Amino acid sequence: MLRFGAVSYLNTKPLVETLDQRLSDWGTLRLDLPSRLAADLAGGELDIALIPSVEYFRNQSRYQIVSDAAIACRGPVWSVRLLSRVPISDIQTLALDEGSRTSAAMSQVLLSEMHHIRPETVPFPIGSDASDVDADAVLMIGDRAMHPPRETYREIWDLGDRWVRWTELPFVFAMWVARRDVCTNPDQLKRIEETLSASRDDGMQCLEKIAIREAASQGLTNEDLHRYFAENLHFYLGPGERSGLKLFREKATAIGLAPPPPAVSGNNA
């Protein structure tokens, strides 16, 4: 039985809608936090996992992308925002949401590239309120970013929108990867690829149903959540997404937030 792991966040729902059923006789699925999934994949406790792109960069010599299903955006993403109390170019301290290392790196890449600044970073703990954080700007992800802040900010960036405008490329937040030892059997690899893509396709066919089921617990309307799935997120890892992933790797490496890519052959971004 292969061991699959996926992020237990709202944006993952369309990718795993039918995955449990599709794995019924040959795999198991566990939902968990990104940091735990990354640690368990690296430690051999999982075989395949949907992990943040930065975590893939850190272990790329040991990992292989195994599906064209992913969590990406091609414009405003809504659930990843930078909120600044000062003009962007004046930011000296940046509070980073502890829920995502990828969005943290993305925000710092954009500030470095667009405004040539490298603010001091401080933690923005999960469960805390932005008004309690002493920093010029705050990175918010997930439901915290999707609800209007009570505080007034000088500038608010949707980081998906900023990335796409700056690079003219999509941004990839997470993708399915496996340890390379899991990918040695071509038939098994093909089954993994087809199953993950089919589960994504199933989810795309029932976005409205997922939105109705999940909206109330997120404090969102059915319509808003359906729009988030259908318009703000993109669930396909195509050539444009791979180009965006490669550029993100290069820029994150340039400012010390990711290691250089390894010199290996195979199916790598």
Residue 98 has what pLDDT? 82
Q: Is the pLDDT higher at 180 or at 150?
A: 180
Q: Is 87 helix (H, G, I), strand (E, B) or coil?
A: coil
Residue 174 carries which side chain, given as an amino acid letter? A
- Whole-model pTM over 0.85: yes
Quote the DSSP letter at residue 141.
E
Each residue of 97-117: pLDDT tens digit? 887 889 999 999 999 999 999
Residue 264 has what pLDDT? 53
What gap in Å lies between CA 231 and CA 234, rounded to an integer?
Answer: 7
Confidence of residue 21 (pLDDT cuts 50, 70, 90): very high
Q: Is 99 helix (H, G, I), strand (E, B) or coil?
A: coil
What gap in Å lies between CA 261 and CA 264, rounded to an integer?
Answer: 9
Confidence of residue 14 (pLDDT cuts 50, 70, 90): very high
What percentage of residues in the chain have a pLDDT greater than 70?
97
Q: Is 177 helix (H, G, I), strand (E, B) or coil?
A: strand
Mean pLDDT (whole number) for 147-174: 93
Residue 130 has what pLDDT? 86
Mean pLDDT (whole number) for 129-155: 88
Each residue of 34-79: pLDDT tens digit? 888 989 999 999 999 999 999 999 999 999 999 999 999 999 999 9
Residue 241 has what pLDDT? 98
What gap in Å lies between CA 144 and CA 134, rounded to an integer?
Answer: 17
Q: Lowest mean pLDDT: which of 33-37, 173-177, 180-184, 250-254? A: 33-37
Q: Does the pLDDT value for residue 269 go beyond 80?
A: no
Residues 197 and 18: beta-carbon distance below 8 Å: no
Quote the DSSP letter at residue 37.
H
Confidence of residue 261 (pLDDT cuts 50, 70, 90): confident
Quote the DSSP letter at residue 262.
P
Domains and CATH numbers, the chain: 2-73+170-254 (3.40.190.10), 80-167 (3.40.190.10)
